[in-house]
Amino acid sequence: MRTIFEKSNNTDGISVTDAVTDIDYIDEKYLRENPVGLPQIGELEVMRHYKELSDRNFCIEKGFYPLGSCTMKYNPKVNELLASLEGFTALHPLANDDASQGALKLMYNLQAALTKITGMDAVTLQPAAGAHGELTGMMIIKKYFETKGENRKKVLIPDSAHGTNPASAHMCGFEIVQVNSDSKGQVDIEHLKSLLDKDVAAIMMTNPNTLGLFEEKVLEISKLMHDNGSLLYYDGANFNAIMGHTNPKLMGFDVVHINLHKTFATPHGGGGPGAGPVCVVEKLKEFLPVPVVSFDGKKYFRNYDLKHSIGSVKSFFGNFGVLVRAYAYILMMGNNLKEATENAVLNANYIKEKLKPYYDLPYDVPCMHEFVLTGERQKEKGVSTLNIAKRLMDGNAHPPTVYFPLIVHEAIMIEPTESETKAKLDEFIDTMIQIAKEVDENPEKVLSAPHSTPVKRVDETLAARHPDLTFKE
């Protein structure tokens, strides 16, 4: 409650008797009957409390994140500094083009960079995440066939695909048809051929795939699809394994989404923010969401003049702060983007070779940026992959993706990225070897893990099915 003093006729200028309070202006039905009950503590105690909570949270600055298929690389802090510049943060999203030239120029240049990196011809920056980019890409494909007068209903998806692929295609009304993997963990060409007919609109592929394996027959797949009048969609989740060395256009893809929050080092996790720009070949650029950023030689402007646009897919212009960070990262790295890929691939192969004597390796071939082990050997001894992941938390490492892809039983997917030093990789390798030995010598230590985390072992099934969200004092 504030006290407001009004002037009086007294010579001292202020009279307490003339004081009024906020309550005099607030309807009684909005007034609290009892005190709020806030803790009476100082600012220092509050700061210490929240600092302690933050220290309990695991983050990339605290330890290793080998989170396969999710590329949790380090985000340079200079990107954060640039994204926080007042010229960007204070720009109102409804500002007109004349008042937004700096932001529009940045987006225009980012569009140009992404088309060059992917080899494609046009791009939209609107989608807010990878899955949103997938949905946008499938909407473009759907409308493309509609304008051709073709009602194609099927989308082919490999059995190793990310789960968002079938979800995105299904949301666009497509029927999902699964393509099997062959003995090498790649698309089974013969099975693909048996599925092709004039009802197939597209195939959605990740290359390298979720096993960390490059699809050796991608050009053959591309020819088969295009000969059938179908399109190819590239899931860019694993783009960190190829940038600078090849691109989706060279592989024959027509649409590709890029996860800026994976490949181009912007904040990731916790539900966002993210960004999933979609790049397309020339014949599909008129189908992109509007607006796209264009330049008429004098000024940058939001261009709504696309003949077959699917319309806007995100309010205003996507997550602009993420775009700033990605552009800063691309400018900073330059040709070193290629080196980042090389280091990511090298790191993954290094860990794979060190761990394969201790864990089963379903595909013992050179991998790309990630690889998949299986904990079947440990499972036979009563210790599951989930137990291994929990024990890993005691080794100052975030658990990797487990039980995915589904075609590998007891899967452990490991992706080190290019950010980590050899010393950190060796530390992770030593921890994984130690866990494998514990399974043989002291399995209870693994089965009861984690031991060193703020929250110990929890029942995931109970938490998922019966979450307790009630507030407890």
CATH of the domain at 450: 3.90.1150.10
* High-pLDDT (> 90) share of the chain, %: 79
Whole-Å CA distances, 420 to 340, 414, 426: 11, 13, 10
Give the residue numbers spanning the domain of 391.
Answer: 342-465
Residues 118-134 as b/e (b if ≥16 CB within 10 A, e otherwise) read bbbebbbbbbbbbbbbb
For the cut 90, the answer to whether the pLDDT of residue 352 exceeds it is yes
Q: Which amino acid is at 271?
A: G
Residues 215, 316 share a domain: yes
Q: Which of 304, 333, 362 is the last residue of a domain?
A: 333
Residues 195, 244 share a domain: yes
For the residues 168-191, what does the mean pLDDT come to? 97
Q: Is residue 460 part of a domain?
A: yes
Contacts of 426 (CB under 8 A, 6+ apart): none
Q: Is residue 369 part of a domain?
A: yes
Q: Is residue 359 part of a domain?
A: yes
Closest CA relative to residue 280, chosen from 168, 68, 136:
136
Whole-Å CA distances, 240 to 162, 244, 270, 326, 458: 16, 9, 21, 13, 33
d(CA 166, CA 156): 9
Contacts of 107 (CB under 8 A, 6+ apart): 125, 293, 300, 317, 320, 323
pLDDT digits (tens, 9 = 90+) for 372-412: 999 999 999 999 999 999 999 999 999 999 999 999 999 99
For the residues 273-296, what does the mean pLDDT come to? 96
Residues 226, 362 share a domain: no
Residues 419, 306 share a domain: no
For the cut 60, the answer to whether the pLDDT of residue 264 exceeds it is yes
The structural domain count of the chain equals 2
Q: What is the CATH number of the domain that holds 209?
A: 3.40.640.10
Residues 222, 125 share a domain: yes
So what's the pLDDT on residue 19? 53
So what's the pLDDT on residue 156? 98
So what's the pLDDT on residue 281? 98
Residue 272 tokens read as 């966002």
Please state, rounded to an integer, the average pLDDT across all residues of the chain: 92
Residues 284, 181 share a domain: yes
Prior bond to 400 cis, omega within 30? no
Q: Which of 296, 314, 333 is the last residue of a domain?
A: 333
So what's the pLDDT on residue 10? 53
Q: Which of 333, 362, 387 is the last residue of a domain?
A: 333
Lowest-confidence segment of 67-81, 124-138, 210-224, 240-254 by average pLDDT: 67-81
Q: Is residue 224 part of a domain?
A: yes
Closest CA relative to residue 258, chosen from 272, 277, 244:
277
For the residues 255-269, what does the mean pLDDT come to? 88
Provide the whole-model pTM: 0.89
Q: Is residue 325 part of a domain?
A: yes
Residues 363, 433 share a domain: yes
Residues 365, 321 share a domain: no
- Residue 4: pLDDT band with limits 50, 70, 90: very low
So what's the pLDDT on residue 21? 60
Residues 355, 324 share a domain: no
For the residues 314-335, what does the mean pLDDT come to? 92
Closest CA relative to residue 413, chosen from 67, 63, 162, 72:
67
Q: Is residue 58 part of a domain?
A: no
Max CA separation in the chain (angstroms): 100
By CB atoms closer than 10 A (0-12, 13-18, 19+), residue 367 is buried
So what's the pLDDT on residue 5? 47
User: Helices 130-147 & 164-171, crossing angle to 10 degrees?
Assistant: 40
- Residue 222: pLDDT band with limits 50, 70, 90: very high
pLDDT digits (tens, 9 = 90+) for 5-24: 444 555 555 444 555 566 67
For the cut 80, the answer to whether the pLDDT of residue 176 exceeds it is yes
Q: Is residue 33 part of a domain?
A: no
So what's the pLDDT on residue 217? 97
Residues 226, 127 share a domain: yes
Residues 324, 363 share a domain: no
d(CA 438, CA 361): 19
248 compared with 266, residue with greater pLDDT: 248
Q: Is residue 117 part of a domain?
A: yes
SS3 per-residue string spanning 309-324: CCCCCCCECECHHHHH
Lowest-confidence segment of 105-119, 267-281, 302-316, 414-428 by average pLDDT: 267-281
Residues 348, 309 share a domain: no
